[in-house]
């Protein structure tokens, strides 16, 4: 999960600005919260779940997945497709932004302290954990970029093991987040974004020190980006391929584990009903409402509303809730529903992704759905 989040953050192709990041921010926070609310209402009215368990179910199923959604992710740092950018950013950020709702559901079930009138939950689980996670990621990511540039710029230079530096950054950032009760998922993806953006900014100041490439020549540091014309290696560049291989292995293991964990009695009308409601109602409605405040083309809204792939993040939150003392009967109910939702998401979204993207890309070429 952490490796996938880091990989997604490293591949972000555009500088951080509110204009470009407004849509994924709306998807990751507002759309995700609306999805939790809609699933909660469905869980109470249709499934007859208690409020706390319904909120927990919504929080488990709301985040989209950064591992299984490979086909709709940013493919490389030079990929300027707006749909891929929005979905990749969303999948990275909402894995952390859903955590407060998990804690809210556990609190309503008596398994977590919410405080009087939910004040502790609002201040600690929502405000502090979110802000601290983002801040930790930004500081440590930028610090790694400055450190690597300093080491490489010394007269004798240093050969850095970029693969393991990336893994070390993940471990340190997540560990510090746990120590400070911050959301580690948010910290890891913002560390990757901060590392990447800081390296780009520092590289611009050193362009005059490097030889210019010949016309049409692509240097190793270019990363496929037309603005990159410097040859200095970076941690984000060096660790990307290695982490993508790890991500593919984890994707294979995840699918095998999900398939091996299914029970015959998991296929209930309740579980299939939750999946259909999530795919056909909760996700599309929440995306359309959230993006109504942004000037997002309707085709991008429709595609984003459909490709809400569920996977490893839902499994993580499910196990997290079980480890916090969720009663066995309620745990089994959530296990069956979650596994069916993930299985159907793999099947339905996996089958439809190629035709939908081919159709979308054909129209996007004439519609200009890319960042300039």
Q: What is the pLDDT of residues 248-278, one digit of tens each?
A: 777 788 788 888 888 787 889 999 999 999 9
Q: Is 296 helix (H, G, I), strand (E, B) or coil?
A: coil
Write down the H helix ranges in the chain: 2-10, 18-25, 32-45, 51-61, 82-97, 99-108, 119-120, 129-153, 162-179, 184-205, 235-261, 269-277, 283-290, 298-306, 312-323, 328-367
What whole-number distance in Å separates Cα of residue 107 and Cα of residue 59? 13
Eight-state DSSP code of residue 267: -
More confident residue, 91 or 47: 47
Whether 107 is in a domain gets the answer yes
Which domain, by its residues, includes 282? 2-195+240-367
Share of the chain above pLDDT 70, in %: 80
Report yes or no on 290 lying in a domain: yes
Highest-confidence segment of 105-114, 152-161, 287-296, 353-362: 105-114
- Per DSSP, 211 falls in state P
In a domain, 247, yes or no: yes
The rounded distance, in Å, linking the Cα atoms of 326 and 321 is 6
Say how many domains are in the chain: 1
Whether 203 is in a domain gets the answer no
Going by pLDDT thresholds of 50, 70 and 90, the confidence category of residue 54 is very high
**Measuring CA to CA, which residue among 82, 251, 237 is closest to residue 74?**
82
Q: In this model, does residue 357 exceed pLDDT 90?
A: no
Identify the band that residue 18 occupies on the pLDDT scale cut at 50, 70 and 90: confident
Do the beta carbons of residue 279 and residue 2 sit within 8 Å?
no
Q: Select the more confidently predicted residue: 176 or 162.
A: 176
CA 267/CA 286 separation, integer angstroms: 26
CA distance 299 to 112: 41
Alpha helix segments (H runs only) across 154-183: 162-179
**What pLDDT score was predicted for residue 257?**
83
Share of the chain above pLDDT 90, in %: 45
pTM for this entry: 0.84
CATH classification at residue 252: 1.20.1530.20
| Top mean-pLDDT range of 87-96, 223-232, 294-303, 327-336 | 327-336
Asked if residue 202 belongs to a domain, the reply is: no
Average pLDDT, the chain: 82
Cα–Cα distance for residue pair 303/212, rounded to 1 Å: 40
- For residues 81 and 364, the answer to whether their CB atoms sit within 8 Å is yes
Check residue 75 and give its pLDDT. 60
Whether residue 96 contacts residue 133, with contact meaning beta carbons closer than 8 Å, is answered with yes
Instruction: State residue 155's pLDDT score.
Output: 66
Average pLDDT over every residue of 116-123: 94
pLDDT greater than 90 at residue 322: yes
Give domain status of residue 9, yes or no. yes
Phi, psi of 81 (to 5 degrees): -65, 130
Residues constituting the chain: 372
Q: How far apart are CA 70 and CA 91, in angstroms?
A: 11
Give the span between the Cα atoms of 153 and 147, in whole angstroms: 10
CA–CA dist 141, 138 (Å, integer): 5
Name 249's Cβ contacts closer than 8 Å, sequence gap at least 6.
none
What is the CB-side half-sphere exposure of residue 18 using CA atoms within 13 A?
1
Average pLDDT over residues 185-193: 93
- Whether residue 316 is contained in a domain is answered as yes
Q: Is the pLDDT of residue 25 over 80?
A: yes
Give the closest residue to 286 by CA, choosing from 264, 266, 265, 308.
308
- Residue 225 is assigned to a structural domain of this protein: no
- The CA–CA distances, whole Å, from 337 to 69, 200, 205, 249 equal 20, 44, 53, 25
Instruction: Provide the 3-class DSSP secondary structure of residue 156.
Output: coil
* Spatial separation of the C-alpha atoms in residues 144 and 138, rounded to whole Å: 10
Distance CA 214, CA 370 (A): 27
Tens of pLDDT along 192-251? 999 988 988 887 765 544 444 443 333 344 444 444 443 456 777 766 666 677 777 777
């Amino acid at each position: 999960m952490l490796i996938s989040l880091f990989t997604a953050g490293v591949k972000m192709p555009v500088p951080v600005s509110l204009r470009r990041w407004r849509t994924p921010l709306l998807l990751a926070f507002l759309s995700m919260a609306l999805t939790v609310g809609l699933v909660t209402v469905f869980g109470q009215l249709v499934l007859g779940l208690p409020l706390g368990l319904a909120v927990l179910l919504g929080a488990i199923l709301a985040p989209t997945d950064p591992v299984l959604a490979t086909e709709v992710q940013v493919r490389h740092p030079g990929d300027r497709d707006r749909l891929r950018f929005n979905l990749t950013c969303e999948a990275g950020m909402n894995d952390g932004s859903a955590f407060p709702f998990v804690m809210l559901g556990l609190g309503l079930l008596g398994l977590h302290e919410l405080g009087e009138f939910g004040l502790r939950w609002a201040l600690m689980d929502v405000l502090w954990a979110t802000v601290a996670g983002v801040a930790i990621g930004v500081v440590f990511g930028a610090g790694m970029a400055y450190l690597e540039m300093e080491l490489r710029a010394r007269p004798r230079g240093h050969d850095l093991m970029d693969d393991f530096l990336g893994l070390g950054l993940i471990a340190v950032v997540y560990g510090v987040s746990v120590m400070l009760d911050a959301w580690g998922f948010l910290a890891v993806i913002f560390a990757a974004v901060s590392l990447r953006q800081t390296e780009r900014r520092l590289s611009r100041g050193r362009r005059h020190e490097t030889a210019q490439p010949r016309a049409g020549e692509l240097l190793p540091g270019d990363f496929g980006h037309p603005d990159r014309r410097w040859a200095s290696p970076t941690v984000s560049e060096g660790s990307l391929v290695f982490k993508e291989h790890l991500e593919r292995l984890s994707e294979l293991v995840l699918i095998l584990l999900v398939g091996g964990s299914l029970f015959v009695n998991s296929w209930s009308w309740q579980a299939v009903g939750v999946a259909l409601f999530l795919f056909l109602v909760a996700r599309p409605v929440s995306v359309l409402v959230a993006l109504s405040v942004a000037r997002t083309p309707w085709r991008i809204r429709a595609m984003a509303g459909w490709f809400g792939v569920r996977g490893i993040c839902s499994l993580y939150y499910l196990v997290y809730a079980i480890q916090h003392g969720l009663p066995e009967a309620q745990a089994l109910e959530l296990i069956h529903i979650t596994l069916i939702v993930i299985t159907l998401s793999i099947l339905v979204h996996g089958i439809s992704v190629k035709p939908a993207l081919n159709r979308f890309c054909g129209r996007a070429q004439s519609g200009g759905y890319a960042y300039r």
